[in-house]
Each structure stands twice: as structure tokens, then as C-alpha cells.
Amino acid sequence: MKKLFVLAILACVTAPAYAQRLTLDIPGLAERASEVVDVTLDGPLLRMAAKFLSSSEPDERAARDIVQKLEGIYVKSYSFDKAGEYDAAIVDRLRAQLSSWKKIVTVRERMGDNTDVYVQMRGEEVVGLAIINAEPRELTVVNIVGPIDLDKLSRLEGQFGIPKMRGKHNE
């Protein structure tokens, strides 16, 4: 029993400081898509990209603040000419990888637009973010690994050429 306790303590101590990286590879999907966005930026490449971000451009400055402590950014987005080009089981498999993550937002629409936002926590800190957005003609998966300041991330809106969001009550 004592050994088991020591092993449990060791497992906690040696647990990775950052969230897990998801397996985003979906064989054969890229061939069926009309447009594919595939971004794989792990530690060293992310640092290199950050070095090339300008401090005079607001969007690049904001990006640099966000990526400072990140370990990886992985994005896959597939657009299709018509609906039904990908199997719903693909989305289920992606969701299954996130069983230990905390789902913070779920959006289900009648038109078939489904979005899930997950975070992984270490104490009070968010150390991973995952977004699965499944639409009839588009599938997007985002996986960010490392400490994420969600406030900074939400402040990004309006800085990337996207108009700042306004709720109906503001209109």
C-alpha cells in the first residue's frame, strides 16, 4: 500500500506540465477536401516564428504575447464542395481523445454546425485548448498546447481583421 502511494506521488510529480497533443491526422480526408489548412508548429518552430513577429504591428505583437509560453499549435481545417464528405465517426474519435479534458462550451445547431471547446487545467492554469468545429461542409480542429491566457486570446478578436464581436443586446 505504501509502495502504491509512493508510485501515485511519483506519477503526479512526473506528469507533464503541459496538455497532451492530440492526434489530428485523418487519413484520406485531405484528398476529398477542396481546401485544407494544416498548421503544425511545435516548440522550436514556434520560437522561431515568434522571433519573426514584428512588435510594431498590433496583430503580430498580440500574437507574440500569446505564443510566448506555448509548446505547440496544431490546426487542421478541411473545406468541402458539398456536405457529407466526412464521416461523423471522425469527430467522435477526436472527441474521444479529449475525455480527460474539461468541455467548457458546446454548441449544437439545427443546421448541423457543432462546436465543442475544451480546456485542460493544471490547478488554476489553463495548459491546453482544443476546439472541434464540425459543419456540413467544413471540419476544423484546433489544439493548442501550453499555458494559455484565455483573456489575451479573447482579446485577439478585432485584431486580425475580424470585427469586434457584439451581442444582440449591444446592437
Partner 1 sequence: MSFESELQDALRRKAAPDGFTDKVMNAIEGHQVRPRRVPRIAAAAAALVIVLGGWTIHRVEERREGERAKAQLMTALRLTSKKLQETQQHVQDISTR
Question: According to the binding rule CB under 8 A, does residue 131 interact with partner 1?
Answer: yes
Query: Contact letters (x/-) for partner 1, 107-126, by CB under 8 A?
Result: x-x-----x-x---------
- Minimum CB distance to partner 1, residue 102 (Å): 15
| 3-class DSSP state of 125 | strand
Max Cα-Cα span within the chain: 62
CA 54 to CA 63: how far, in whole Å?
Answer: 10
Interface with partner 1 (CB under 8 A), residue total 43
CA 98 to CA 146: how far, in whole Å?
Answer: 16
Interacting residue with partner 1 among 21, 24, 29, 53 (CB under 8 A): 53
Number of Cβ within a 10 Å radius of residue 44: 8
Between 2 and 168, name the residue whose CB sits nearer to partner 1.
Answer: 168
Question: According to the binding rule CB under 8 A, does residue 63 interact with partner 1?
Answer: yes
CA 22 to CA 132: how far, in whole Å?
Answer: 12
Do β-strands 138-145 and 72-79 pair in parallel, antiparallel, or remain unpaired?
antiparallel
The one-letter code for the residue type at 153 is: L
Between 89 and 111, name the residue whose CB sits nearer to partner 1.
Answer: 111
Interface residues toward partner 1, by CB under 8 A:
37, 39-41, 45-46, 48-53, 59-60, 63, 66-67, 73, 75, 77, 105, 107, 109, 115, 117, 129, 131, 133, 140, 142, 144, 153-154, 156-157, 159-162, 165, 167-169
